[in-house]
Chains A and B, each alone.
Chain A
């Protein structure tokens, strides 16, 4: 490195001084110099350097070590020239030389076949400027040169660029503009290299616009301002032509639009104000025109297809030649014109609108609708609304269908079988599956659509069918699935799946407490009469219900299932007890299911007069039970009992499976052949209603174990009954059903009562914590608290408030009648 340094030094020493232009023998020097100048990074670094440091031989700290020695060199050169008393160059002389260089540059730009600048020429031009700027005042021509620099652009633009632009139009003008701009860039680059020294010292010292900017400003003021309107219009018309399907020169547009961007240096103002605004306006007008035709001529799916295509193409347009910042604005504009403006018209198209698409199950079009309308503000609400209406209508149609079927059956005087309800629930499940798929697939799980689906189902799920609430129908549906020999023959997996869906439907039902009550009633029957098909399914649906409705909802039901397991264990112990106590054995097989009060539905317990055989049984069990527990009271519910009775008929003995009540009635005939209604009633100690029911089942139904006088189908208090010894059946084992009384009314009454307690408790809870609360708030908090179980009627709440006031839990504020106070 040291050698290199000294070599150049010696070279320079040989060179003749005072000459304006170095001669050939200095070629080596220039080559090196040029090399230095062309080092782009060095260039930059030089620009950054303080002027003073170039005069001193001090390395700049910011330079990398590799370049340091070269900078020394440059400094040294400058110093050399300065130190040697140069001849003064007068302005005219110097500029003449520059003018020649510039002229050459212009002719190169114009495409005249001239050779490019040699390094020699280049360095000479630079040096001239350097020298003219470093002469002592009054020979410092910096200012004049700076002006001249600007003038050169002016002159070139007015004499050459503008005329050539003016004589061309449209696309040709655009091409010319692009060419001129490229030329201008080249020219600016070269000139700023020639005048580079101005940038380094003069300009930075005086905070004048740098050379590059001067060049750009010239072009902007003289060319751009002159032609930008024409250019804009030409570009827009090209865009419109492309929209109409023509092939256009995208590269050209890209270049032209780059000018709009570049002309603002770092700011987008020119692009936005001079081009983008007008382009967006035109786009708006273009699509507004299009849309106004399409909306008339096209169906909704076709329109949406077109709209989607347009949006896609506009997006491509941005990527091809518009500035990326235009994308959002452009798409918004198009969406506004195509979708927002016609949203209602489009969605409500009679034959093909949203409703029609739902009717025709056009899943793809609906997905497209979602995609498009999700982009505009408030676009999805009407779609969701239509969806909701549609689902509601479909659901209500199912309700109506079911009602019609029921009333038809009633008209035909057929027994209303549960089958119809079964079909209905199944259909509702299918409907839910179908529309849930819509929400998931077409509407991408958007909350708005989930809500619409929920709202719709809530509307028709709470209507009820032919006097039965949906809560009851669902409970019956579950029962049919879970019980032995239910109407549905399903695989285990199918049962699980169906149960899952039923539980989901339950979410839409307001009267969850009513469902729970019905479900408990049916569950009780399944468990007590051993009708449950599968223990696992029973437990699995309870788990599902628990997940959805909370532990409180299922605690009783779970208790019931557990009770039954415990009862089985208990029975084993009882059997052991009997085998160990031969004296205690009553001689009849006895199974007792001990249940926990509270878990199970409430049953009336009668003081039925049991036959002696059974009384013995009960006493034995009581003794056994007392050995196990103390202080527990057993209440016997005979109405839930089952007995197997051997009927010794004349032809054969048949085992009759009957209820405890029926058995007690039948056993009366062991001691007398004929008994009147009154005798039976008093001996059994039952109510009229129950006696009628059980005598009917024994004498008027399928199996006539008793003969009735007179022989008709109705039981009246004057009837007389007799054992029918002639009875026979092809089976050896028959079950004589006793139709259950009307449980529905009781269930509804129970639920009503529970609700009153629940509302009272809720109000008191709220008021206890709030002390003073406005009426509306109290009601809404109460509804909120209870909504997991049921939707309390506001009137019911009001009524409970009245009652609580009477009972001195609350009082009305004396001054504000809408305010309640808690009385602790």
Chain B
């Protein structure tokens, strides 16, 4: 009984006026002069593929090297989130303008400074959960795709939550590679991972109640962990 509607992917991104990203950088100049826009555009076309009128994967690679950041670095993901980029590997002019305005950067050196500082800012921000969800959505590259294979999920988890919840991410990654019930993870499960890391006492699982609506994958994970610890 598959359904065709893909209501999730895009809706949030459109209303950028109220987006959590705005909250993050509120206090910066909300006015943008045409001068700024000129500089933003100039910078955009330095990297853009002119036939597509977008920055394509090649452009991103050269942008990354100019910024001195690896393209698989979480900060690039955060940059994409700041731009509210829709398609993985591409930035449109609108997205670019939005991002640079937020970061108040009109030159590559300013952008570099902002990007280097981005991780700190996002992790401390109250809109981190939004970034977390964005990370999942950003990886949905196919039309009507709703799930991501567990292998990619492991990498993504490490990237997004790795430095915050080392132990949880390691254990969860280990479990996902061990189990055979799940080949893919959906958005709901992904969000539950974050909630789990935040709410559950990882050393005892005392406050984990499998009778609540936790996704089954987490029930099994906890069961597996307890079994493992029982043996150890």
The answer to whether A818 touches B216 (Cβ under 8 A) is: no
**Which of B2-10, B74-82, B84-92 lines the interface with chain A?**
B2-10
User: Chain A: which residue is nearest B186 at the CB level?
Assistant: A806
Among A806, A819, A820, A823, the most chain B Cβ lie within 10 Å of the Cβ of A806
Assess whether B192 is interfacial by the CB under 8 Å rule. yes
Task: Tell yes or no: B180 within 8 A of A by CB.
Answer: no
* B73 interfacial contact with A, CB 8 Å: no
* Residues A806 and B147 in contact in the complex (CB < 8 Å), given A775-B212, A818-B213: yes
A812 in the interface, Cβ–Cβ < 8 Å?
yes
B186 touches A820 (CB 8 A): no
Tell me which residues across on chain B come within 8 A of A809, comparing CB atoms.
Answer: 1, 3
Contact residues in A for B147 (Cβ distance below 8 Å): 806
B5 lies within 8 A of A812 (CB):
no
Q: Is B38 an interface residue (CB 8 A)?
A: no
Chain B stretch 176-196: residues in CB contact (< 8 A) with chain A: 186-189, 191-192, 195
Q: Counting CB contacts under 8 A, is B219 at the interface?
A: yes
Nearest-Cβ distance from residue B209 to partner chain A, whole angstroms = 10
A411 interfacial contact with B, CB 8 Å: no
* CB-CB nearest in chain A for B209: A818
**Residue from A795, A805, A807 in contact with B219 in the complex, judged by beta carbons closer than 8 Å:** A795
* Residues of A close to B7: CB separation below 8 A: 808, 823
* Cβ contacts under 8 Å, B3 to chain A: 807-809
Contact status B216-A817, CB under 8 Å? no
Distance (whole angstroms) from the CB of A540 to the closest CB of chain B: 39
A312 at the A/B interface (Cβ < 8 Å)? no
Flag if A812 contacts B211 (CB, 8 Å): no
B146 at the interface (CB under 8 A from A): yes
Size of the chain B interface, CB-CB below 8 angstroms: 23
Nearest Cβ on chain B to A716's Cβ, whole angstroms: 34
Asked whether any CB of chain B lies closer than 8 Å to the CB of A799, the reply is: yes
Chain B residues, Cβ within 8 Å of A812 = 188, 191, 213
Tell me whether B2 and A798 are in contact (CB under 8 A): no
Q: Which residues of B contact A798 (CB under 8 A)?
A: 213, 215-216, 219
Question: Contact flags (1/0) for B140-176 with A, using CB distance below 8 Å?
Answer: 0000001100000000000000000000000000000
Q: What residues on B are CB-neighbors of A760 within 8 Å?
A: 1
Beta-carbon contacts under 8 Å, B211-225 to A: 211-217, 219
Q: Is A776 an interface residue (CB 8 A)?
A: yes
Q: In the complex, what residue of chain A is closest to B182 when comparing beta carbons? A: A802
Tell me, in angstroms, the Cα distance from A805 to B188 when the chains sit together: 7
Bound Cα distance from A823 to B215, whole angstroms: 18
Contact count band on A: 20 to 34
B1 touches A820 (CB 8 A): no
Kindly supply a per-residue 1/0 record for chain A positions 792-824, scoring 1 wherever the CB is within 8 Å of any chain B CB and 0 otherwise: 000100110110011111011000011110010
* A819 proximity list for chain B (CB < 8 A): 213
Is the beta-carbon distance between B186 and A802 smaller than 8 angstroms?
yes
How far does the alpha carbon of A211 sit from the alpha carbon of B5 in the complex, in Å?
Answer: 99
A775 to B212, CA, bound (A): 7
Residue contact A806 to B213, C-beta cutoff 8 Å: no
* Chain A residues within an 8 Å CB radius of B211: 776
Contact A817 B5 (CB under 8 A): no
Closest Cβ of chain B to A442, distance in Å, is 39
A808 to B107, CA, bound (A): 43
B residues in contact with A811, CB < 8 Å: 188
Question: Which residue in chain B gives the minimum CB-CB distance to A795?
Answer: B216
Q: A807-B1, A807-B3, A809-B3 are in contact. Are A817 and B213 (CB under 8 A)?
A: yes
B212-A805 in contact (CB<8A): no
Say whether A802 contacts B216, CB under 8 Å.
yes
In the assembly, what is the distance between CA of A480 and CA of B212, in Å? Answer: 46
Chain B 94-118, CB-CB to A under 8 Å as 1, else 0, gives: 0000000000000000000000000
Q: Mark A615-642, 1 if CB is under 8 A from B, else 0.
A: 0000000000000000000000000000
Contact, CB under 8 Å: A818 / B212: yes
Q: Beyond A795-B219, A802-B186, A817-B195, is A807–B2 a contact (Cβ under 8 Å)?
A: yes
Residues in B with CB closer than 8 Å to A799 are 216
B219 to chain A, nearest CB (A): 7
Mark each residue of chain A from 758 to 775: 1 if its CB lies under 8 Å from any CB of chain B, else 0. Answer: 001000000000000011
- Residues on A with beta carbons closer than 8 Å to the beta carbon of B8: 808
What distance in Å separates the Cβ of B74 from its nearest Cβ neighbour in chain A?
24
Which residues from B are CB-within-8-Å of A775?
Answer: 212-213
Which of A760, A799, A823 is most buried by chain B, counting CB atoms within 10 A of its CB?
A: A799
CB distance from A776 to the nearest CB of B (A): 7
Question: Cα distance A811–B191 when bound, in Å?
Answer: 12
- In chain B, positions 1-25 with a C-beta closer than 8 Å to chain A are 1-3, 5, 7-8
Nearest Cβ on chain B to A759's Cβ, whole angstroms: 13
Question: Closest approach, in angstroms, between the C-beta of B101 and any C-beta of chain A?
Answer: 28
**Nearest opposing residue in chain A for B3, CB measure:** A808
Contacts of B212 in A (CB 8 A): 775, 817-818
| Smallest CB separation, A568 vs chain B (Å) | 39
Minimum CB distance partner of B211 in chain A: A776
The interface residues of chain A lying within 8 Å CB-to-CB of B219 are 795, 798
- Select one of B2, B188, B191 contacting A802, CB under 8 A: B188
Interface centre among A776, A817, A820 (most CB of B within 10 A): A817
B186→A805 contact, CB < 8 A:
yes
Contact among A795, A806, A817, A818 for B146, CB-based, below 8 A: A806
The reply to whether B5 and A808 form a contact with Cβ atoms under 8 Å apart is yes
> Roughly how many angstroms separate A776 CA and B214 CA in the complex, as a whole number?
11
Query: Complex formed: what's the CA distance from A823 to B3 in Å?
Result: 11
Q: What B residues does A808 contact at CB under 8 A?
A: 3, 5, 7-8, 146
- Distance in angstroms from B5 CB to nearest chain A CB is 6
Q: Quick one: CB contact mask for B41-59 with A, threshold 8 Å, 1 for yes?
A: 0000000000000000000
Across the interface, name the chain A residue whose C-beta is closest to B189: A802
Give chain A residues whose Cβ lies under 8 Å from the Cβ of B1. Answer: 760, 807, 809
CB nearest to B4 among chain A residues:
A808
| Chain B residue nearest in CB terms to A803 | B186
User: How distant is the Cα of A798 from the Cα of B217 in the complex, in angstroms?
Assistant: 9
Nearest B residue to A819, CB-CB: B213
List residues of chain B with CB within 8 A of the CB of A806: 146-147, 186, 188
B188 partner residues in chain A, CB cutoff 8 A: 802, 805-806, 811-812
Closest to B199 in A: A817
Complex Cα–Cα for A807 and B8 (A): 11
Q: Chain A's nearest CB lies how many Å from the CB of B55?
A: 32
B112 → A minimal CB distance (Å):
36
Chain A residues with CB below 8 A from B191, complex form: 812
Residue of B nearest to A814 (CB): B191
CB nearest neighbor in A for B181:
A799
Once the chains are docked, how many angstroms separate the CA of A775 from the CA of B211?
9
* Shortest CB distance A117–B (Å): 91
> Taking the nearest CB of chain B, how far is it from the CB of A313, in angstroms?
54
The winner among B195, B211, B212, B213 for most chain A CB atoms within 10 A is B213
Having A805-B187, A808-B5, A809-B1, one finds 6 other A-B pairs with CB under 8 Å, namely A795-B219, A802-B186, A802-B216, A812-B213, A819-B213, A823-B7
**Which residues of B line the A interface, CB within 8 A?**
1-3, 5, 7-8, 146-147, 186-189, 191-192, 195, 211-217, 219
> Could you jot down 29 A-B contacts, CB within 8 Å?
A775-B212, A776-B213, A795-B216, A795-B219, A798-B213, A798-B215, A798-B216, A798-B219, A799-B216, A801-B213, A802-B186, A802-B215, A805-B186, A805-B188, A806-B147, A807-B1, A807-B2, A808-B3, A808-B5, A808-B7, A808-B146, A811-B188, A812-B188, A812-B191, A812-B213, A817-B213, A818-B213, A820-B213, A823-B7
Closest A-B pairs by Cβ, 10 of them: A775-B213, A798-B216, A806-B186, A818-B213, A805-B188, A808-B3, A799-B216, A806-B146, A802-B215, A812-B188
